[in-house]
Copies of this chain bind each other. A is one copy, B any other.
Amino acid sequence: MKDMDDIAAMMAGIGARAKEAAAELACAPAHARQAALEAAAEAVAAGEAAIIAANAEDLAFGREKGLSSAMMDRLMLDGTRIGAIVSGLRAVAAQKDPVGEVIAEWDMPSGLNIRRVRTPLGVIGVIYESRPNVTADAGALCLKSGNAVILRGGSESFHSSRAIHACLVQGLKAAGLPEAAIQLVPTRDRAAVAEMLRAVGTIDVIVPRGGKGLVGLVQAEARVPVFAHLEGICHVYVDRAADPEMARKVVMNAKTRRTGICGAAECLLVHRDVAATLGQQIVEDLMAAGVEVRAEGMRGSRPATAEDFGREFLDMIIAARVVDDIDGAIAHIRTYGSSHTEAILTEDDAAAERFFARLDSAILMRNASTQFADGGEFGMGAEIGIATGKMHARGPVGAEQLTSFKYLVDGHGAVRA
């Protein structure tokens, strides 16, 4: 399988089977997709020992390769984590089915009745790093939305992903759905990724899920549409009209609840009028909680440098800067943000309105923690990621966001004048 032609042929076969499965899935009933997900959950629960054994192989490989402890942690599966995969599959199974939903319906004077109806996108390619649970999450969301999916996980999680994928296929079989509805690329060769990115006419959209390196590669090389998932360089702006207690509480949560997720705050902006008082207090709160504050215009752990702004730390570090006013905050975010999530803390309605109108991030929040940037917290059930592009899907990408639509028109014999 090292030969490039072999990889190309293999991926063409996977693509053709995915397309065929997608056509079948698009008219399969909702209850079959739901049954498949429930059966897959059963299979994962029953297969715990086998999955953990496969994971042990990956962990040994990772240790040999010298993976960082953070990466080893993401790779590791135990009973608790497998339990979470099982309940994730069940939760997606129980979600409302998006396919066939009538999004809008209207009549025209010509006599046409027009319905806009949700349809699957077709074939989705998911390229992700070595987090075996994404195999289940992504597979489940794509199936729920009636799409066939081609999964390409990180090479370090190869065996774990294969074991989980086998359970998903068991679920498909049990429900009488085509096995090719969820395929896992059976090679670690990176040439397979390149083939996916060029699969125009076969793969309808690529969802990259991972760090800056992966997403950058996908965006640079892809010839098929991509749901952009850039970094989460989330800003929190403390306005002069902020409620002080609320601001302290929200900033602390936005930075420290979990530092490794894309909704974690990476930069604190403070209005000049409250910089020495509330702003300084918040900086001290953060430092007391063990956060390194790289500050400009305030006393922090150390002065900020130019590189600290627009940076995704994903760690107990935050950049902080004093701005002259709300427009200064907006200008800073326009320059350094990644269009993911930004929050304003203010009791001033006009300030909040200006912040909401003049910024165009996927998610804008008032008096709430940026850590809420999450499909579950938005009521969408699971998510395959947070899209930062403007096209098609934006913000948390759940099953509904993995659909398109078509128009169904009933004319009773209407002809156009």
Residues of A within 8 A of B (CB): 23, 26-27, 106, 108, 110, 112, 114, 119, 121-122, 204-205, 225, 243, 246, 249-250, 252-254, 257, 334, 352, 356-358, 360-369, 371-372, 374, 377-379, 390-392, 394-395, 404-416
Are B253 and A411 touching (Cβ within 8 A)? no
Are A406 and B362 touching (Cβ within 8 A)? yes
CB within 8 Å for A368 and B410 given contacts A108-B379, A377-B112? yes
CB within 8 Å for A414 and B362 given contacts A112-B377, A205-B391, A377-B110? no
Are A379 and B106 touching (Cβ within 8 A)? yes
Most buried by B among A225, A408, A409: A409
Instruction: Kindly identify which residue among B119, B249, B352, B415 contacts A250, using a CB–CB cutoff of 8 Å.
Output: B415
> Closest residue to A359 on the B side, CB-wise?
B406
Are B390 and A404 touching (Cβ within 8 A)? yes
Chosen A-B contacts, 12 in total, with CB atoms closer than 8 Å, are: A23-B334, A108-B378, A121-B391, A205-B391, A253-B416, A363-B406, A365-B410, A366-B411, A372-B409, A372-B411, A394-B406, A395-B406
Most buried by B among A377, A405, A412: A377
CB distance from A264 to the nearest CB of B (A): 11
Instruction: Kindly identify which residue among B366, B371, B404 contacts A391, using a CB–CB cutoff of 8 Å.
Output: B404
Chain B residues whose C-beta falls within 8 Å of the C-beta of A357 in the assembled complex: 26-27
Instruction: Kindly identify which residue among B205, B254, B391, B414 contacts A372, using a CB–CB cutoff of 8 Å.
Output: B414
Bound-state Cα–Cα, A404 to B391, Å:
7
Chain B residues whose C-beta falls within 8 Å of the C-beta of A205 in the assembled complex: 391
Are B250 and A409 touching (Cβ within 8 A)? no
Bound-state Cα–Cα, A406 to B371, Å:
17
Bound-state Cα–Cα, A106 to B377, Å:
12
Instruction: Kindly identify which residue among B106, B108, B352, B407 contacts A362, using a CB–CB cutoff of 8 Å.
Output: B407
CB distance from A24 to the nearest CB of B (A): 10
Interface of chain A: mostly helix, strand, loop or mixed:
mixed
> Closest residue to A246 on the B side, CB-wise?
B413
Are B108 and A365 touching (Cβ within 8 A)? no
Bound-state Cα–Cα, A358 to B26, Å:
8
> Closest residue to A245 on the B side, CB-wise?
B413
Are B112 and A368 touching (Cβ within 8 A)? yes
Chain B residues whose C-beta falls within 8 Å of the C-beta of A372 in the assembled complex: 110, 112, 409, 411, 414, 416
Instruction: Kindly identify which residue among B249, B391, B407 contacts A392, using a CB–CB cutoff of 8 Å.
Output: B391
Chain B residues whose C-beta falls within 8 Å of the C-beta of A225 in the assembled complex: 225, 391
Chain B residues whose C-beta falls within 8 Å of the C-beta of A411 in the assembled complex: 250, 365-369, 372
What are the nearest 10 A-B pairs in CB distance? A368-B411, A253-B415, A246-B413, A390-B404, A392-B392, A371-B416, A365-B409, A368-B414, A363-B407, A369-B415
Give 16 new A-B contacts, CB below 8 A, not counting A112-B377, A250-B411.
A112-B368, A121-B390, A122-B360, A225-B225, A249-B415, A254-B415, A257-B416, A361-B406, A362-B406, A363-B409, A367-B414, A368-B412, A371-B415, A394-B405, A394-B406, A395-B406
Chain B residues whose C-beta falls within 8 Å of the C-beta of A415 in the assembled complex: 249-250, 252-254, 257, 368-369, 371
Chain B residues whose C-beta falls within 8 Å of the C-beta of A377 in the assembled complex: 108, 110, 112, 416
Chain B residues whose C-beta falls within 8 Å of the C-beta of A254 in the assembled complex: 415
Chain B residues whose C-beta falls within 8 Å of the C-beta of A378 in the assembled complex: 108, 114, 407
Bound-state Cα–Cα, A352 to B390, Å:
35
Bound-state Cα–Cα, A122 to B250, Å:
31
Bound-state Cα–Cα, A364 to B112, Å:
12
Most buried by B among A106, A108, A122: A108
Most buried by B among A352, A364, A365, A368: A368
CB distance from A131 to the nearest CB of B (A): 21
Bound-state Cα–Cα, A246 to B204, Å:
37
Are B108 and A367 touching (Cβ within 8 A)? no
